[in-house]
A and B are shown apart, each in its own frame.
Chain A
Amino acid sequence: MENYLLAVAIVYLLMVAIFAHWGHPLLIMTTIPMGISAGIAGLALLNGIGLFQQPFDMITMLGFLILMGTVINNPILVVERTLFLKKQQHCSVQDALSGALKSRIRPIAITTVTTLCGIAPLVFIPGEGTELYRGVGTIVMFGLMGAAIVTVTTLPALTALFLRSKLSK
């Protein structure tokens, strides 16, 4: 458990250093719980339809650690572009977000789909010994799917709320 907190702290401080802002990294990191819950839902779904019985063990939980690192990549793309458009080009919050989404949605979709295809064999190919890493694969796969959805829906909404509020000044 301390390891997860440590990972979150490292990621947060790193982003604070790169973005030079205490609030924007928090905005990006809100996708972590959303990605994790998508991963849990995916595990429950695959166990529920009886494809396999995957226990929720240590290695599966390490999938959450991978998710922490990968899930925030998409939001970084969107938020970074939004901030750039808002600061450098003096766009309104609305226009900056739309511009960022428009230019970033392609790379996000492509990377998500390629990663999903890469992980699919780990999850769906049966055989001896595959149960060791199947849980991680499932968590990461569904976590990334959830994160991609959240990146175009909830994240812009949250960013708009944050940037329009006084907190960002």
Chain B
Amino acid sequence: MQAAIDGVKQVWTAVLTSTLTTVLVFLPILFIQQEAGQLYSDVAIAISSAIVASMILSVTLVPLLAAQFPPPLKKQNMDWADAITSRAEKLYKHRGRSLTTVGITTVVVVGIWWWLMPPAEYLPEGEEAKTFATMSAPPGYNLSTMSNIAKEIRAIFDPALVTENTEVKRSGLTIPALKTISYSVQPTSSPKPSPR
């Protein structure tokens, strides 16, 4: 029983600090108004409440159960932990060693930030904005007339395909930059020969 109480006492500060920091970093997410914030706030709320619940349980229920069902005393053979500790000890034995360790880490960290930082995008590419337009020709227009009309329309929209600006002005219209565009001219329905 005493072991369980001591265990809680020993790590209580650490547990409280880690829980609170983990939860509180999500606070600013609530201030993000755009889509990313909406997509993410549920995740943040789920993680936060789960962590708070786990903290409460880990200082109440878990010590209780550990005291009730004490694990069998086993010989402490922590070979790997001792091995890691003794290796790590070499890194902070002297001032020089410590300085070297910290220096190398700084170089690696700055190097990664400098070389590998990828270009930022907003959200993964999903559905792109599309516009469809059709024109129904008045009766009596033939295909070559329709093709000429299509050429006129191309003349208006094509500059928006190659532009570096975000929008182009043509014939009094403001057209946003376009990624792809496709035209087709076809006879929609040929009049059926009426049965006689």
Contacts and interface: CB of A to CB of B under 8 A. Distances in A.
Contact of B117 (A34, A40, A55, A57): A40
B102 to A, nearest CB: 5
B56 interface: no
A157 B101 CA distance: 7
Interface of B: 11, 13-14, 16-18, 20-29, 31-32, 34, 36, 39-40, 47, 78, 81-82, 84-85, 88-89, 91-93, 95, 97-99, 101-102, 105, 108-109, 112-113, 116-125
A69 B85 contact: no
7 contacts: A33-B109, A34-B109, A37-B109, A40-B112, A69-B25, A80-B14, A154-B105
Contacts, number: 167
Q: Interface residues of A toward B: which range?
A: 35 or more
Interface of A: 2-4, 6-7, 10-11, 14-15, 18-19, 33-34, 37-38, 40-41, 43-44, 47, 55-59, 61-62, 65-66, 68-70, 72-73, 76-77, 80-81, 94, 97-98, 101-102, 105-106, 109, 131-132, 150, 152-154, 156-161, 164
A77 B13 CA distance: 9
Contacts of B27: 6-7, 10
A41 B111 CA distance: 10
Nearest to A150: B105
Interface of A is mostly: helix
